[in-house]
Structure 1
Amino acid sequence: MNMNMNMNMTSSIDDLMTHMTTEDPDSFSPSPTDDYEYDLQDFMCDREQVRVFRSRYEPPLFWIIALVGGAGNLAVVWIYLNFRRRLKTMTDVYLLNLAVADLLFLVTLPLWAAEASYSWIFGSTLCKLNSALYKVNLFSSMMLLTCISVDRYIVIVQTTKAQNSQLERRRCSRLVCAGVWLLALLLAIPEFVFAAPARVDTHDYCRMVFPPHLGNRTKILVLSLQVSMGFCLPFVVMAFCYSVIVATLLKTRSFEKHKAMRVILVVVVAFVVSQLPYNAMLVIEAAQASNMTITDCEERKTYDKVEQVLKSLAYLHACLNPFLYVFVGVRFRRDAMQLLRRCRPLTSKTQLSKSRSPLSSTRMSVMSDSDTSQALSL
């Protein structure tokens, strides 16, 4: 009998080693950021409790984020198309691209919500596309936020240089955006290559499935790229730019500087609060892949649930971007009100013409390059 038990255990471990390069969809959410493989501890740990938590927690929240964020970012794109005949500043270009990136990211959430409720029923091709689309827009949105902070640094700290090179900078912004999208596509190559449906029990999950010869090294590399390019680099650049901007504002006598510093503080705090906790969890997961830092089953399941909550918090940033970077501007809010009035059937053309301001349809709402006071007021 003991011999039979040993043979069964050996067979189970052999089966486990055969599947070492397939991620465990029971442990974490089905988003393409979670690059987890089977190991002996996962094999011995029942994750049913985590799957139930995901199926109840993730779908409604993802749908809320998708709907609210979609409405806000669609409003940004719609206002640009209707009121801004041409993009006047670098930040205009960046904000429009940021809204598009957030919209493309939000499109992926309903599919992840459906997977959490049922399983992945959309096939291998859509699995690759959805996973890659998520990563492309994750990286592009973070890099565009970095570009906005650099542009604000130039406008406020190097005012003379900014005013003398407006046309050149506007042309440069389009090249920068093209470079951002290209780099994001390159960083999403692992999703195009390795994302595939993986069967667990009777359910399929869209996961990263690595060949046996690649092992954990590829997983650690993917996680490292996400943390470094999706958080660390943007955070360092934003922290430097906004700290110098605040120091510059403190030297001015404008009454608008306090409002500007409040907005900067909100922008930085929102970025750190939403992104830092989840990226810290990804660092822990990379360490787990390297040397198995978490070995207790109950501890692992608790970690999984915490990761779910922090991931959702990170996704909320796509909802906040329109309000943090766009709707804080007075002129942009006026454009939004005009758009709402246009949608009202009883609004007369006379009222619309009286309410329309030439400045409101042609100038940037967030720190215009040609108006120092507007720049200070964000």
Structure 2
Amino acid sequence: MEDFMTTQMGTPMGTPEGDDYSTITDDYSSGTEDYSEFSSCDKSYVREFRKYYEPPLYAVIVSLGVIGNFLVLWIYVHFKSRKKTMTDVYLMNLAVADLLFLLTLPLWASDALRGWTFGSLLCKFTSACYKINFFSSMLLLTCISVDRYIVIVQTTKAQNSKTTRLLCSKLVCLIVWLLAVFLAVPELIFASKKDDPDSDWQFCTLVYWANEHNRTKILVLVLQIFMGFCVPLVVMIFCYSCIILTLMKTRNFEKHKALRVIFAVVAVFVLSQLPYNAMLIVEASQAANVTITNCDISQNFDIAAQIMKGVAYTHCCINPFLYVFIGVRFRRDLLKMMQYYGCVSPKGKLSKLYGTPFRASVMSDTDTTQALSL
């Protein structure tokens, strides 16, 4: 698994010597260093930190994420007779990707507590499943920003091509999933169980084939940084900048609310993903040219990596609330569904608050999911 769950961020990864069958291991627990003066670095403190940090954090992420994403799918199915929009399709696929991602976290929590006890095949499958849903989630967020751009900035074009856009959204989702599977191939190839020399535990990690300057590892990291962060960030900044310029020209009473949501969407993405990807950049640099040789610095770096990885994982439980439940129509749909199942009284305060007609606006068109409206 190419993340900091089992990555030795601070381990010198110089050019290995030997034949083509030697390996490079991304595992802070294994202590596989190429330099004798660094080989005695004890990573037990990092393992202990992971043991007490990851399981409770993952429990919170899984609990919130399953509830939020399950409600998204429930609403989608409950109103299946209604004609779906392009963003509806993206949000449904995003919920599926997040739910599948969440299913892998209990296994990684168990890995942190007692090592990997589920076999090599499940190690490869879980690592690949994690990466597939990570990439698909990031790319679907990109698709949502493009759809918002088309609906708000290219309004006339969007109105004239509703049917075509809906068909395109399904094709785009298929391409996203296929691309995510392709990007997860390294996990299927390199994920393997690795013995911990300091205990009788085993860990699920990536064991690379050794080659000059660790080209394989660097290529995998660059692909993850580029496709999982750089491309989505650039597209989101472009689309939302154009949306902001369009909204600033309008005199709509919901404009300021929409702007706040846009800033929240971009801020959450950057704050959750930037630190994690910055660590990946450092790891790529470490693989290409040893930059950290001090044991204390290496340990501190590993701890920081664990924290940043946990922050990055929160995106799968924030997405439903950020991209769905802030939308006017989804909130109304949730209320109607709760009324249908008797959870909320039709005459209650919530029904009076969200049951009255709302004014149409540039950010709350009736034909598109309210992914940016309040």
1:209-224 equivalence runs, <5 A: 209-213=207-211, 216-224=214-222
- Structure-1 residue corresponding to 2:331: 333
Q: Deviation per CA, 1:252-304: give whole Å up to 9, x if none.
A: 11111111100000000000000001100110011011111111000000000
- Structure-1 residue corresponding to 2:5: none
Judge which range, 17-26 or 136-145, deviates more. 17-26
Deviation at 1:356, TM superposition (A): 11
Alpha-carbon distance in structure 2 between the residues aligned to 1:148 and 1:55? 36
Q: Structure 1 pair 242/42, CA: closer, same or farther in 2 (3 Å)?
A: farther
What secondary structure does 1:21 align onto? strand
Q: Deviation per CA, 1:228-271: give whole Å up to 9, x if none.
A: 00000000000000001001100011111111100000000000
Q: TM-score normalized by structure 2? A: 0.86
Deviation at 1:337, TM superposition (A): 2.4
Q: One-letter code of the match for 1:184?
A: A
Q: One-letter code of the match for 1:72?
A: G
Q: Structure 1 pair 369/175, CA: closer, same or farther in 2 (3 Å)?
A: farther
- Structure-2 residue corresponding to 1:160: 156
Deviation at 1:221, TM superposition (A): 0.8
Deviation at 1:217, TM superposition (A): 1.2
Q: 2:258 aligns with which of 257, 260, 265?
A: 260
Maintained 8 Å contact 2:192/2:204: yes
Deviation at 1:89, TM superposition (A): 1.2
Q: Structure 1 pair 356/323, CA: closer, same or farther in 2 (3 Å)?
A: closer
1:78-157 equivalence runs, <5 A: 78-157=74-153
1:27-46 equivalence runs, <5 A: 38-40=33-35, 43-46=39-42
Q: One-letter code of the match for 1:287?
A: S
Maintained 8 Å contact 1:98/1:141: yes
Maintained 8 Å contact 1:20/1:215: no
- Structure-1 residue corresponding to 2:27: 24
- Structure-2 residue corresponding to 1:317: 315
Alpha-carbon distance in structure 2 between the residues aligned to 1:300 and 1:154? 46
Alpha-carbon distance in structure 2 between the residues aligned to 1:134 and 1:256? 38
Maintained 8 Å contact 2:87/2:368: no
Asked if 1:48 corresponds to 2:48, the answer is no
1:224-303 equivalence runs, <5 A: 224-303=222-301
Deviation at 1:70, TM superposition (A): 1.0
Alpha-carbon distance in structure 1 between the residues aligned to 2:343 and 2:184? 45
Alpha-carbon distance in structure 1 between the residues aligned to 2:299 and 2:45? 8
- Structure-1 residue corresponding to 2:186: 190
Q: Structure 1 pair 157/258, CA: closer, same or farther in 2 (3 Å)?
A: same
Q: TM-score normalized by structure 1? A: 0.85
**Percent of residue pairs identical:** 56
Deviation at 1:14, TM superposition (A): 9.4
What secondary structure does 1:44 align onto? coil
What secondary structure does 2:27 align onto? coil
Q: One-letter code of the match for 1:266?
A: A
Q: Structure 1 pair 37/161, CA: closer, same or farther in 2 (3 Å)?
A: farther
Q: Deviation per CA, 1:73-96: give whole Å up to 9, x if none.
A: 011011110124245211000000
Maintained 8 Å contact 2:100/2:129: yes
Q: One-letter code of the match for 2:44?
A: E
What secondary structure does 2:81 align onto? coil
Alpha-carbon distance in structure 1 between the residues aligned to 2:229 and 2:188? 22
Q: Deviation per CA, 1:22-72: give whole Å up to 9, x if none.
A: 232428xxxxxxxx9643265221101101111011111011111111110
Maintained 8 Å contact 2:127/2:191: yes
Flag structure 1 segments of 5+ consecutive residues without an equivalent: 1-12, 28-35, 361-365
Alpha-carbon distance in structure 1 between the residues aligned to 2:51 and 2:279? 21
Asked if 1:70 corresponds to 2:55, the answer is no
Deviation at 1:206, TM superposition (A): 0.4
What secondary structure does 2:195 align onto? strand
Deviation at 1:214, TM superposition (A): 7.1
Q: Deviation per CA, 1:344-375: give whole Å up to 9, x if none.
A: 48979xxxx99998x99xxxxx8446479x68
Judge which range, 339-348 or 213-222, deviates more. 339-348
CA RMSD of aligned residues (A): 3.1
Deviation at 1:207, TM superposition (A): 0.7
The structure with the greater share of residues assigned to helix is 1
Flag structure 2 segments of 5+ consecutive residues without an equivalent: 1-15
What secondary structure does 2:209 align onto? coil
Higher relative contact order (CA 8 A, sep 6+): 2
Q: 1:305 aligns with which of 303, 306, 309?
A: 303
Q: One-letter code of the match for 2:264?
A: V
Q: One-letter code of the match for 1:304?
A: D
